[in-house]
Structure 1
Amino acid sequence: MKNLFLIPIISFTLISCVDDTPKCNSEEVKSIVLEIIKEERLKSLDNGFTKIGNEEIIQKGLDTMTLNLITTKSINKEIKNCECEGVIIGYPLIFDEYMELLKSNINPKDHKININYSAQTTEEGETIVKVEPYYLYN
């Protein structure tokens, strides 16, 4: 009889200890951040920026872009939210941007973009990620 009584207590304790607050460096959150940045980059090129035959280079850059140096700025377990920052490496540049970096004495190959983002788990268990506006030249 003792063993039957302990099982419900142990299972309740394990269930109540599950933390579903997203983590800044989880693969799911990083993947969503990169997808948002890819979509925004493609939109910026379609809205007045010229591709001038660089579609292949840009797509390759988008596919190899990474999110690194991730830090957690804050965590709010009550609302299942985390505030994060990181660095985008490999952001694809068009010719004009490349030249602008050179004029600013920045080696385009070493170019990094600092970003801030947040991730939150909804009541339904889905993860929502918001990326704050970021700038090509930090």
Structure 2
Amino acid sequence: MKDIFIRSLIAGCLGGLIYQMFVWVFYLFDLAKITPFQIGAYMLVKPGSDFTMIFNQLLGSVQHFSNSILIAFVIAAIAERIGLDHFILKGTALGGILYFIIYGVVGRYIIPVSLLQPDLVTSTIFLAGNLLYGLTVVSVLATLNKKMIT
């Protein structure tokens, strides 16, 4: 599959879905205090609105998947330069870098730290989720590239 947009779309959707499901499981067990959909809802709905409402979380899911696809596109562009050999290591490393850029730098300017990083457990779950996201995206890109070659 030669089209980088289609590969990024597929990889970003799968990576975003895996990431949301991973965090959501911990949210159901009351270990994570917030989910990516809720963070997306916080950014899209009117200030003071309840971002945990289902409709608001649906809006948040649009934001979450849009960002997942956009980031997958950047990862796909980087992967074309560095290659996809050792994709487990590269995917995990990119996921870790992504966590520190998004939650450590960029997110602090958009979302209050008390919401973005409510406690150490939630931050750790989000770190693991980002590692899983990076691994998923790079694995899907590697699989799609193999199909392109064969």
Both structures adopt the same fold (TM-score exceeding 0.5): no
Q: Which has the higher contact order (CA 8 A, sep 6+)?
A: 2
Greater fraction strand: 1
Query: With structure 2 as the length reference, what TM-score do the two structures score?
Result: 0.36
Larger radius of gyration: 1
Greater fraction helix: 2
